[in-house]
Structure 1
Amino acid sequence: MGTVTIGVSIAVPEPHGSLLQERRAGFGDAAAHGIPTHVTLLPPTEVEAGRLPAVEAHLTEVAAAGRPFTMRLSGTGTFRPVSPVVFVRVAEGAEVCTWLQQRVREASGPVARDLLFPYHPHVTVAHGIDEAAMDRAFAELADYEASWPCSGFALYEQGPDGVWRRLRDFPFGGCTVVPPQAAPVDHGTLPAF
């Protein structure tokens, strides 16, 4: 069956997602249009394709334990000189993102893994481009602000063309979701974090 490269993230909704993606492309980041604007919960991870059902079952459990929360972005930061990245900061919701990513990667789950760097939720707006463009991204988005109610996360797969595509959404427990045709709706709620 082979392997696939997957990732788990919280999508930045419209109009914010497209705006930040266009800004990223404008700074000269060639990968911008292949990467939906997001906050990572599981970085690119290679898994056996046959393990995807187990991954989806695990993510369903993680999401069921979550609750909707406010995600707020504010200002910029950078990982330079350790890593050539400029990002928009997660000013509200970082603790929940940290909790979620720990559960996604838990040792007993199908995508257990260590990280190269300590987890720091963020939205990348420039990666691996020249220093002047990184400085421009840092300065031009320094006053950027956005917020939205976050109601879940998604599983993505990277195609052979390098483009990330959403495979499935995982709504948090307590969210009302419009089901596909004739499926029952579970309106149960779970305690807050």
Structure 2
Amino acid sequence: MSIESRFTLGVVIPVPAPHRETLRTWRREYGGEATEPIAPHITLISGSYLNTWEKAATQVRRVAAASKPFEIRLGPAQSFRPKSDVVFLPLERGADECWALHQQLLGDALRHESDFAYHPHLTIAQNVPAAQLDAAQADLKDVQITFEVESIELFDTRSGQWNFSERISLQS
């Protein structure tokens, strides 16, 4: 395989129970069925890797091993509109740690590829009619969800869809 070969991967922070189920319900209600197969998460990297899968996975493991658990607090719904039809929950606490993980994951074998600058958040609804986005933003205006981040998850798209590969504990 040449160095130019590229493959897609994702590194995310999973949301633990019971918050995962609450967020899944909101995502289904406001974001529709398209959100169903994707568990609520905060993306750290969504992009590609060069060379081998093992080199990319080793980099993710190395970053996780050097990182300590931290707390995330999600706040009231906001929107990226008009730039992007997305309603999301912002990080009121934990954004700096997400930024640090994002930066540490970049380089070497991993790339972050997006039309938008990295902004840690949890998506509730995207690319749905404006009425659904409006409802999500209005109904979730008082949200406060706090949880401890103890691991990150690695996904690949080697078979053309997102596939869970590995849960990696933060250990520092």
TM-score greater than 0.5 by the shorter chain: yes
Q: Secondary structure at the match of 1:75?
A: coil
Residues 146-165 of structure 1: matches in 2 within 5 Å?
Answer: 146-158=145-157, 162=161, 164-165=162-163
Show the counterpart of 1:97.
Answer: 98
Q: How far apart, CA to CA, are the structure 2 residues paired with 1:114 and 1:25? A: 26
Is residue 29–residue 127 contact of structure 1 (8 Å, CA) maintained in 2? no
Q: Report the equivalent of 1:187.
A: none
Q: CA deviation at 1:110?
A: 0.6
Report the equivalent of 2:37.
34
Q: TM-score, normalised by structure 2?
A: 0.88
Which TM-score applies when normalising by structure 1?
0.79
Question: Structure 1: which 4+ aligned runs deviate by more than 2 Å?
Answer: 1-5, 45-48, 112-116, 157-162
Unaligned 5+ residue runs, structure 1? 175-193
Q: Secondary structure at the match of 2:82?
A: coil
Specify the alignment match of 1:141 in structure 2. 140
Report the Cα distance in structure 1 between the residues aligned to 2:75 and 2:120, rounded to whole angstroms. 12
Q: Is it true that 1:169 corresponds to 2:162 in the alignment?
A: no
Greater shift after overlay, 144-153 or 80-89? 144-153
Shift of 1:120: 1.1
* Larger deviation, residues 21-30 vs 124-133: 21-30
* Shift in Å, 1:31: 1.7
Q: Where do 1:44-123 residues align within 5 Å?
A: 45-47=47-49, 51-106=52-107, 109-113=108-112, 115-123=114-122
Pairing 1:125–2:128 present: no
Q: Secondary structure at the match of 1:91?
A: strand
Instruction: Give the number of the structure whose alpha-carbon radius of gyration is greater.
Output: 1
- Residues 22, 158 of structure 1: CA spacing in aligned structure 2 closer, same or farther, 3 A cutoff? farther
Report the secondary structure of 1:112's partner residue: strand
Listed one character per residue, the Cα deviations across residues 65-101 of structure 1 (whole Å, up to 9, x for unaligned) are 2111111111111111111110011110000000101
Greater RCO between the two (CA within 8 Å, min separation 6)?
A: 2
Show the counterpart of 1:186. none
Query: How far off is 1:64 after superposition?
Result: 1.5
Q: In the alignment, residue 136 of structure 2 is paired with which amino acid?
A: A
- Shift in Å, 1:157: 2.5
Alignment CA distance shift 1:66-1:166 (3 Å)? same
**Number of matched residues?**
169
1:153–1:28 distance in 2 versus 1, CA, 3 Å: closer
